[in-house]
Structure 1
Amino acid sequence: MAAEDAAPGEDRAEGLKANAIGFVDALVIGLNSTSPAYSLAAVIGPIVALVGIYAPGVMFASFVPMLLIASAFYYLNKVDQDCGTTFSWVTRAMGPWIGWLGGWAIAMTGVLVVGSLADVAVSFALLAVGLDGWVDNAFVRQLLTVLLIIVMTAVCVIGTELSAKVQNVLILAQVAFLLVFVAVALYSVYAGTSKYDSVEPSFSWLNPFGAGGAALSGGLLLGVFIYWGWESAVNLTEEVEDSETAPGKAGLWSTVILLVTYVSVGFAVVAYAGPTFLAENADEEEFVFAQLATDVLGGWDWVLLLAVSTSAIASTQTTIIPASRTALSMARRRALPASYGHINPRFRTPDVSTWWVAGIAIAWYLVVNQISSNALFDSLTALSLLIAFYYALTGVACAVYYRRHLLESVHNFLLIGLGPLIGSGLLAWLLVKSVADMSDPANSYSGTSWFGLGPPLVIGIGITVVGIVIMCVWRLRAPAFWAERPGVVDPELVHGKET
């Protein structure tokens, strides 16, 4: 075992509140972390522009690597219930240097995306209540965005139970709004009342290869990341009942439910609006959903606008969870300053790391907005690099950590070894493809060149370099963590916990 003071399954003195939430709560948090309605609003147009009517098929294909990586999360959590997830697991399997970078990637995803999610939540809420002019007022919108981040951070600190209750309400509202949209849109298609060139849905749309290999690869670059975020359920492993299996199952079921949601809405949107309209407006992104909300629901368009808003509000809160819990785990292992591991004595949540994540996210949001709104979108694009990196690391870590047990059964070989490795391979390919695409400034939102490269790639490289510098400095100041050595899973944990 890598470090005795952090062995899996031990009673941690730091005091996260055990058994604070159940399986359903973890499942809801995993779902909300992906921000389903907002994710659909952001990618449906660009995906249709690439693959046309085969957008549902691309969404289905994008699900495959996520399911394989979710399997890795499930089996790694069974033997190591650590809120640091990827950081802890990769450290145990592959050593402290790679593990630290995995943890850094998770923390930075929260910093990059929280401000944007809150901005979307505020914008769509204002549109829903008819305050369109406030959306165009940068000062008002950014002020409300910062206030929303502060409120959602406070909810995270006050307690996991409160977070779960808020999430339960938000997911019910979000799913209800999306179901209303799907039902009315499909009714309009079959009734012939759509104002667009609607087409009747066909099961052939589920063929991801229908538009050709090149279009599929481009669609996967967009589609695979709309599933990102489900692992928030696993980051709460130390606070979930039945922590050995429930968080992992919540992550797995989150991806399945997301698949059904995305494919259903994909069918409805493509059928109602037709591929021509969606392709022509691919660059508008969120505008597409706002426009279709009015066309499909008429005076009830606020229903879908609120769906996107609640989606982004929920994700604003839950996206803070992986970053703050990872920082907590890193501090406990002495990979970060001990202050990040502070637990609020009343609420038993990691208050210091949570507020640090929120504070840095607010600063990033405000600074990037001063550059341009497109720069904010470019920072979101850089997310794909970090996501692909730490997901791929987790898949490899699963196979490496369990390597002495992969040939014990077909089940182990396929679900613990081969599956996660295939998922990692697909994500590594997407990472390389993303780097190639982002190197061209023309492919960025701003269209400008930073040091001869696209802004998203520069942001990704910058975050990596800063992480490496901090890691090396902390290695010199506190070398204890780097004394850990990679190992393999304890056979008693494997054979004693198999289902």
Structure 2
Amino acid sequence: MADDVTDTLPSPPPPPPSAHTGEGPGELRHNAIGFLDALVIGINSTSPAYSLAAVVGPVVALVGIYAPGVVLASFVPMLLIASAFFYLNRVDQDCGTTFSWVTRAMGPWAGWIGGWAIMMTGVLVVGSLADVAVGFGLLTVGLDSWAQNHVVRQLLAVLLILVMTAVCVVGTEASAHVQNALILAQVASLLAFAVVALYRVYSGTSTLGAVEPEIGWLNPFGAGGAALTGGLLLGVFMYWGWESAVNLTEEVKNSASAPGRAGIWSTIILLGTYLSVGIAVVAFAGPAYLAENAGEEEFIFALLAGQVLGGWDWLVLFAVSTSALASTQTTIIPSSRTGLSMARRGALPAVFARIHPRFRTPHVSTWTVAVVAIVWYLVVSRISENALLDSLTALSLLIAFYYALTGIACAVYYRRHLTESVRNFVLIGVGPVVGAGLLLWLLAESVIGMSDPAHSYSGVSWLGLGPPLVIGIFIVIVGLLIMVGRRLTTGAFWRERPSVADPDLVHGRVAHGSREL
């Protein structure tokens, strides 16, 4: 019956050129990387060491010893949305991910604004990540005075963005090789820190207010509702970025399943990493010390490294530096691939759909994202360093929005198949919708909190509101203006109508660009 009903609905738009076997002049390189490469890129895109360093202090300030519980609770909506990415990728392997899926399920207007949100996350965060990579890199080699010199750090950060962008353009294989090396260095350093910290806790040699870990730390409700809400907002930022693995779907072997699996496993591995290192940090330093130094943000690891590792403190500094360095590169991927997907559907100017004839990468879209990100970084940095942190805070609005949109699109696109089995109903319907609901709730809480200037890093008022909310509103308004402009000047994309998942694809009777070897 579901098949009969589906046949009466408008057919979905034809698959993008890259969904066909063989590489045409406008296609990305097929089978460029495998599952493990995609997994590494998904993990590195979250910048685990940097995310931990940036979030541990503020979370502990909110919830105390229950910080590991908040990390665990934040994982739930991420896993549910990762399930949505997996199932949507099975029936549409498009590098535009959210943009393409939401367009097919809910129409071009919703799809366009979802794609815009993804592109803007790269613009907001790339400069900050490069700044952190440079700062911690200089601290690692003992050039503390350079790290404190804003001009030197900004020049090096811009140079780093250009180099990482060039690596992205040269090819996905080159990007994967760089990421593989960086993840090994990062994970090894983090594990060394965690093991030594816990050893010193149990041996009684901690120099700070050490507390032995307890199973009760995993209770996210221990600190109360208001504190949990604030902690979850920070926790979502920690996990954001894993979907870069899925943005590479057209370039991954077994693209119908491998990218989606890489996204899910990325969130699971991140949970293990965050819990182990988070517990070690809270146990070694104690909640009082972390709460007192919460304002140091990412430099909390710099404060603890010497205490834990002594002369080997450079390992932790190196971990944060490589973490931010890796994410500087991988964060460009979702934005550039989304720009490519939007351009070849006519949602953006065709120039962004150009593929480098030799490297088979979207070089115009990639360089555009990098240049706009550099301009944003330099302009906001001139306002103040706190303004740069405020622009990062605005990320939570965009992240929650397009993740929630994807979760809803999954249930809508598969709506004819949700009652076929309990698995479909739970993993494709209820799970993604619940994840979307949690994220929309966090989005509303973010807007309420950001409306108060006192809650921002800079503590100043922009138009009577907090700077992060003003930045978010500015991005939305610019996006709406561009979207309306495209609607008035182009036609084909805006005539696409919502559809449902093809039954043959859902049930595996045909493969949509799987390119399995």
Residue equivalent to 2:41? 29
1 CA distance for matches of 2:249 and 2:20? 13
2 CA distance for matches of 1:272 and 1:46? 16
2 CA distance for matches of 1:478 and 1:399? 29
Residue equivalent to 2:432? 420
Comparing 391-400 and 199-208, the one that deviates more: 199-208
Residue equivalent to 1:331? 343
Residue equivalent to 2:313? 301
Q: Could you tell me whether the CA contact under 8 Å between 2:18 and 2:250 is conserved in 1?
A: no
Residue equivalent to 2:12? 2
Residue equivalent to 2:226? 214
Q: Could you tell me whether the CA contact under 8 Å between 2:196 and 2:309 is conserved in 1?
A: yes
2 CA distance for matches of 1:118 and 1:498? 43
2 CA distance for matches of 1:492 and 1:33? 33
Q: Could you tell me whether the CA contact under 8 Å between 2:243 and 2:263 is conserved in 1?
A: yes
Runs of 4+ that moved beyond 3 A: 5-13
Residue equivalent to 1:255? 267
Residue equivalent to 1:123? 135
How many angstroms does 1:226 deviate by?
A: 0.5
Q: Match for 2:34: what amino acid?
A: G
2 CA distance for matches of 1:27 and 1:113? 21
How many angstroms does 1:22 deviate by?
A: 0.2
Q: Match for 2:409: what amino acid?
A: A
Deviations 1:428-466 (A, max 9, x none): 000000000000000000100000000000000000000
Q: Match for 2:420: what amino acid?
A: E
1:143 aligns with 2:151: no
Matches within 5 A, 1:52-451: 52-451=64-463
How many angstroms does 1:363 deviate by?
A: 0.4
1 CA distance for matches of 2:148 and 2:191? 29
Q: Match for 2:204: what amino acid?
A: G
Q: Could you tell me whether the CA contact under 8 Å between 1:8 and 1:80 is conserved in 2?
A: no
1 CA distance for matches of 2:494 and 2:433? 26
How many angstroms does 1:421 deviate by?
A: 0.1
How many angstroms does 1:284 deviate by?
A: 1.1
Q: Match for 2:486: what amino acid?
A: W
Deviations 1:277-306 (A, max 9, x none): 001111111221101001101111100000
2 CA distance for matches of 1:474 and 1:76? 26
Q: Match for 2:20: what amino acid?
A: E
2 CA distance for matches of 1:427 and 1:10? 35
Q: Match for 2:126: what amino acid?
A: V
2 CA distance for matches of 1:17 and 1:149? 23
Q: Could you tell me whether the CA contact under 8 Å between 2:108 and 2:493 is conserved in 1?
A: yes
Q: Could you tell me whether the CA contact under 8 Å between 2:18 and 2:27 is conserved in 1?
A: no
Q: Could you tell me whether the CA contact under 8 Å between 1:343 and 1:350 is conserved in 2?
A: yes
1:456 aligns with 2:468: yes
Deviations 1:303-355 (A, max 9, x none): 00000000000000000000000000000101000000000000000000000
1 CA distance for matches of 2:146 and 2:212? 38
Q: Match for 1:207: what amino acid?
A: N
Q: TM-score, normalised by structure 2?
A: 0.95
Q: Could you tell me whether the CA contact under 8 Å between 1:78 and 1:497 is conserved in 2?
A: no
How many angstroms does 1:5 deviate by?
A: 5.7
* Residues 1:406 and 1:7: Cα distance change in structure 2 (over 3 Å): farther
Cα root mean square deviation, aligned: 1.2
How many angstroms does 1:2 deviate by?
A: 3.0
Q: Could you tell me whether the CA contact under 8 Å between 2:404 and 2:435 is conserved in 1?
A: yes
How many angstroms does 1:99 deviate by?
A: 0.2
How many angstroms does 1:136 deviate by?
A: 1.3
Comparing 279-288 and 264-273, the one that deviates more: 279-288
1 CA distance for matches of 2:16 and 2:274? 39
* Residues 1:329 and 1:72: Cα distance change in structure 2 (over 3 Å): same
Aligned residue for 1:164, secondary structure, equals helix
2 CA distance for matches of 1:462 and 1:214? 28
Q: Could you tell me whether the CA contact under 8 Å between 2:244 and 2:334 is conserved in 1?
A: yes
1 CA distance for matches of 2:122 and 2:510? 33
2 CA distance for matches of 1:213 and 1:328? 42
2 CA distance for matches of 1:95 and 1:408? 25
Q: Match for 1:6: what amino acid?
A: P
Q: Match for 1:168: what amino acid?
A: N
Q: Could you tell me whether the CA contact under 8 Å between 1:8 and 1:79 is conserved in 2?
A: no
Q: Could you tell me whether the CA contact under 8 Å between 2:17 and 2:27 is conserved in 1?
A: no
- Out of 501, 507, 511, the residue aligned to residue 489 of structure 1 is 501
Q: Match for 2:408: what amino acid?
A: V
Q: Match for 1:134: what amino acid?
A: W
2 CA distance for matches of 1:165 and 1:471? 37
How many angstroms does 1:139 deviate by?
A: 1.0
2 CA distance for matches of 1:345 and 1:8? 14
Q: Could you tell me whether the CA contact under 8 Å between 1:155 and 1:162 is conserved in 2?
A: yes
How many angstroms does 1:10 deviate by?
A: 3.4
Q: Could you tell me whether the CA contact under 8 Å between 1:405 and 1:412 is conserved in 2?
A: yes
Q: Match for 1:55: what amino acid?
A: A
Q: Could you tell me whether the CA contact under 8 Å between 1:47 and 1:219 is conserved in 2?
A: yes
Unaligned runs of 5+ in 1: none
Q: Match for 1:25: what amino acid?
A: D
Aligned residue for 1:336, secondary structure, equals coil
Aligned residues: 499
Q: Match for 1:128: what amino acid?
A: T
How many angstroms does 1:477 deviate by?
A: 1.0
Aligned residue for 1:2, secondary structure, equals coil
Residue equivalent to 1:465? 477
How many angstroms does 1:248 deviate by?
A: 0.1
1 CA distance for matches of 2:457 and 2:67? 22
Comparing 282-291 and 306-315, the one that deviates more: 282-291
Q: Could you tell me whether the CA contact under 8 Å between 2:129 and 2:324 is conserved in 1?
A: yes
